[in-house]
Amino acid sequence: VWKLADPAELAREKEQKEAELARRAAEQAAQAAERAAKEALAKLPPIDFMKQLFLSDDTTTTPTPTTTTTTPKYSRFDDTTGLPTHAHDGEALNKNQSKKAKKEFDAQQKKYDKYLKSQAK
């Protein structure tokens, strides 16, 4: 009987393939979780989205086990539009901050409208 490769080498290659498959499965699971989180955020109306924003290293995300802060990003909101008017510390937003908040609000409005449109079908 002729053997083409050393049994130890074959076992090592098999382990490498299994490790690669496990890595790919973990990567796909992480991508699926990230996709689900994005879809969950798209389901939020813009007003609710702005109210649930928290301060963290990345200010556009909600707190996760890796972030330690649970301070809301905004403290007060306009009753008619739902846009934030005051920062977490109670100070009124300046022009630049208001502009960024409006941009964030509009982006969430687009995501929410897209979600509503997909649900109507």
pLDDT digits (tens, 9 = 90+) for 31-43: 999 999 989 888 9
Task: Tell me which DSSP letter residue 4 carries.
Answer: S
pLDDT digits (tens, 9 = 90+) for 36-82: 998 988 899 988 888 888 887 454 555 455 555 678 899 899 988 88
Assess whether pLDDT exceeds 80 at residue 120.
yes
Assess whether pLDDT exceeds 70 at residue 7.
yes
97 shares a domain with 49: yes
pTM here is 0.63
32 shares a domain with 76: no
Per-residue confidence (pLDDT) for residue 68, from 0 to 100: 54
Average pLDDT, the chain: 86
14 shares a domain with 51: no
73 shares a domain with 113: yes
Per-residue confidence (pLDDT) for residue 2, from 0 to 100: 63
CA distance 79 to 39: 27
Phi, psi (deg, nearest 5) at residue 56: -160, -170
113 shares a domain with 57: yes
- Find the domain containing 92 and state its range: 43-120
108 shares a domain with 83: yes
How many percent of the chain have pLDDT more than 70?
86
CA distances from 57 to 63, 78, 104 (A): 10, 26, 17
105 shares a domain with 72: yes
69 shares a domain with 110: yes
Number of residues that make up the chain: 121
55 shares a domain with 17: no
CA distance 3 to 42: 57
68 shares a domain with 10: no
Per-residue confidence (pLDDT) for residue 19, from 0 to 100: 97
pLDDT band at residue 121 under the 50/70/90 scheme: confident
CA distance 121 to 117: 7
54 shares a domain with 14: no
CA distance 38 to 114: 13
Per-residue confidence (pLDDT) for residue 112, from 0 to 100: 94
Name the domain count of the chain.
2
Question: What are the start-end ranges of the E strands in the chain?
Answer: 74-77, 84-87
